[in-house]
Structure 1
Amino acid sequence: MLSTSQRTQIKKSARKANFEQKNLHQIIDESLIAHIAIEDSTGPIVIPMLAWRVENNVYIHGAKNSRLIRQLKQAKQTCLTFTLFDGWVLARSAFHHSAHYRSAVVLGQFSAIEDNQEKDRLLNLFIEQIAPNRCSDVRLSNQKELTATDLLVIPLTEASVKISNSGVNDDNADLDVQAWAGVLPYRTVVGPLEPSEDLHSSIPTPDYSKAYDNRWFEQ
């Protein structure tokens, strides 16, 4: 179960709150994009970043001169959001149109991982998540590249999850309106692979489908 705090209490549409840790993990793993909030001398800003999960931690990486990375390394409080859009709910009245979605909010502080060997391991785990067995094919990061990269981690100790997946919620007075009602699903489709123009013809096409389950493209 997710931990609860005053900051993670869902007040608006509280019935959509979900407290299962597995759902938090699934949203992060499927999204892989965190919108991260910081505030500097220019004011508040939210920046999207690639993010990945290993066990109960979320990681991001970036160049040392990145404004976002510099701010987060100061151990200031921040907020990450992950959102998956699953479809439109089309009601008989304009007012009751809504959406299916899964969202997660993570609160806390980032800390830096300084050891290059640990950076390499965690960055390679990210590559393996998006393309299984790829690290055995590519040139791995060298010490210069690892030293130039900052890797930050935030624990999933304070987080909330909200899932909207209910059907049409029309008023009884609108049930006789002669308009189609139901759900217009959205689905993310992954693949097929598009080879680089300079790829040697002797290199076979790899199979990364097992990382994406039913989201993998099928002809």
Structure 2
Amino acid sequence: MTNTTAARRIRRLSERQTTDRDELFELLDTELVGHLVAVADGTPIVVPMGFARVGEHVLVHGSTGGGFALRAAAERSTVAFSVTALDGLVFARSLFDSSMNYRSAVVYGVLEPVDDEQADAALLALSERLMPGRSAEVRAMTRKETAATRVLRLALDDVVMKRRAAGASEDPDDGEDHAVWAGVVPLARAWGAPEPSPLTPEGTPIPDSVLALTTGSGRVDRLR
């Protein structure tokens, strides 16, 4: 079960809140982009970034040269990390009743730097989450690149998760004109055809990691 503090429990439409751990993991393991939120000098800052879930933590990375995430980690201030999946649009017989089907989670906590001895494994986990198999096809990171990169982790201890997975609100006796179409339009996203860079020689074979995405045989071939 997902832990949620009393202050963060959903009060309006509370039936949409879920504490199912498997649902949380499925969301985090399907989506590729989250939004990290922190307050710096009294100003809220939101940064979209790629991430990976490893066990009971979310991993993000950034430059050691600066950035509010590293500052937040150093100051041990509370941050929030939000992930949302839009699954479809719900067309009701009024705009008021129209809605979205979605899954969302907000994780609260303190960012912790990953230890140096675990940094390589953490960076590999991030790479494999976003581009499975790519690390075996390219050169290794240089010492300078590794030194310029810092991995942070956020424990999945304080999480608020919501989801709507239903059709349009309707009832046989709701007084609406049922000749007006109502229902759900599901949203599906798929990877497009690979586009080689200008400096890639013509005829260069498409690597297995790219083929795995575009042909649907990879772990991240389809986003809901």
TM-score by length of 2: 0.87
* Residue 211 (structure 1) aligned with residue 219 (structure 2): yes
Give the corresponding residue for 2:93: 92
For residues 175 and 166 of structure 2, the distance between their equivalents in structure 1, rounded to whole angstroms, comes to 18
Give the corresponding residue for 2:113: 112
Is the 1:167–1:182 Cα contact (8 Å) retained in structure 2? yes
For residues 12 and 181 of structure 1, the distance between their equivalents in structure 2, rounded to whole angstroms, comes to 24
Structure 1 runs of 4+ off > 4 angstroms?
Answer: none
Give the corresponding residue for 1:162: 162
For residues 147 and 32 of structure 1, the distance between their equivalents in structure 2, rounded to whole angstroms, comes to 24
Give the corresponding residue for 1:73: 74
Instruction: Report deviation, 1:54.
Output: 0.9
For residues 74 and 83 of structure 2, the distance between their equivalents in structure 1, rounded to whole angstroms, comes to 21
For residues 89 and 175 of structure 2, the distance between their equivalents in structure 1, rounded to whole angstroms, comes to 19
| Matched length | 214
Call closer, same or farther: CA 1:120–1:203 in 2, change over 3 Å: farther
For residues 82 and 11 of structure 2, the distance between their equivalents in structure 1, rounded to whole angstroms, comes to 17
Instruction: Report deviation, 1:166.
Output: 1.0
Is the 1:93–1:174 Cα contact (8 Å) retained in structure 2? no
* Residue 127 (structure 1) aligned with residue 135 (structure 2): no
Call closer, same or farther: CA 1:150–1:96 in 2, change over 3 Å: same
Is the 1:106–1:159 Cα contact (8 Å) retained in structure 2? yes
What CA deviation, in whole Å up to 9, does each residue of 1:21-60 have, x standing for no partner?
A: 1211121222222212211225222222222111111111
Q: Any gaps of 5 or more consecutive residues in structure 2?
A: none
For residues 5 and 121 of structure 2, the distance between their equivalents in structure 1, rounded to whole angstroms, comes to 32
Within 5 Å, give how 1:1-219 maps onto structure 2.
Answer: 1-64=1-64, 65-115=66-116, 117-170=117-170, 172-201=173-202, 203-205=204-206, 206=208, 207-209=211-213, 210-213=218-221, 215=222
TM-score by length of 1: 0.88
For residues 154 and 132 of structure 1, the distance between their equivalents in structure 2, rounded to whole angstroms, comes to 22
Q: Any gaps of 5 or more consecutive residues in structure 1?
A: none
Q: Is the partner of 2:177 in helix, strand or coil?
A: coil
Instruction: Report deviation, 1:155.
Output: 0.9
What CA deviation, in whole Å up to 9, does each residue of 1:62-90 have, x standing for no partner?
A: 11211333223321111111101111111
Q: Supply the RMSD in Å over aligned alpha carbons.
A: 2.0
Instruction: Report deviation, 1:6.
Output: 1.3
